[in-house]
Amino acid sequence: MFTSSRQSSSKASTSTTNFFYTTPPSYELSLEDFESFALSRLIVLRKIEELKVKGLDRNQYNDALKRVVNLQLPSSGPSPSAKKHNEKRDLASHFILRLAYCRTEELRRWLLTQELALFKFRLEDLEKRGGKDMSAFMKNAGISFDKITQDEKQSMQSQLRFNMSYRDFEASSFYRIPFAEAVDLIGRRLVHVRAGMAYVPGGKLVSIICARFRSHLSRSLAKAAASFSHVSSDTRIGPLLKNMNKQYTGRDFGKQHTVEGDMNASNVDEYAQRSMPLCMRQVHDGLKKDHKLKHDGRRQYGLFLKGAGLTMEESLLFFQNEFTKIMSADDFNKNYAYNIRHSYGKEGKRQSYTAFSSTTIIMGPRSNPSEVGSHHGCPFAHSGDASLAALLGKMGIGGKDRDDIMAHKKNKMYQLACAKHFEVTHPGAAKTEGVDLDGVGNHPNAWFNSSVQYWKNKEPAKKDMKGKINTPMAKVERAVVSPGSGTAKEVV
Binding site residue list for [4Fe-4S] cluster: 279, 378, 418
Beta bridge partners of 176: 146, 199
Torsion angle (degrees, nearest 10) of CA 104, 109, 110, 113: 160
Task: Give counts: helices (H), strands (E), the chain.
Answer: 23, 8
DSSP secondary structure of 47-86:
HHHHHHTTT--HHHHHHHHHHHHHHHS-S--SSHHHHHHH
Q: How many CB atoms lie within 10 A of CB 157?
A: 13
Phi-psi region of 119 (alpha: psi -120 to 50; beta: other; left: phi over 0): alpha
Of 300, 61, 107, the C-alpha closest to 218 is 107
Residue 398 phi, psi dihedral angles, 5° rounding:
-145, -165
β-strands 3-4, 146-147 pairing: unpaired
DSSP symbol at 154: H
Residue 182 to residue 161: CA distance in whole angstroms: 17
β-strands 197-201, 488-491 pairing: unpaired
Torsion angle (degrees, nearest 10) of CA 65, 67, 72, 77: 130
Distance separating the N- and C-terminal Cα atoms of the chain: 58
DSSP H or E stretch at residue 488: strand 488-491
User: What does the chain come to in residues?
Assistant: 492
Of 448, 286, 293, 234, the C-alpha closest to 356 is 448
Binding-site annotation, residues: 279, 378, 418
Identity of the residue numbered 321: N
Residue 354 to residue 303: CA distance in whole angstroms: 7
Phi-psi region of 5 (alpha: psi -120 to 50; beta: other; left: phi over 0): beta
Helix ranges (H only) for 232-328 are 238-243, 268-275, 278-290, 295-308, 312-323
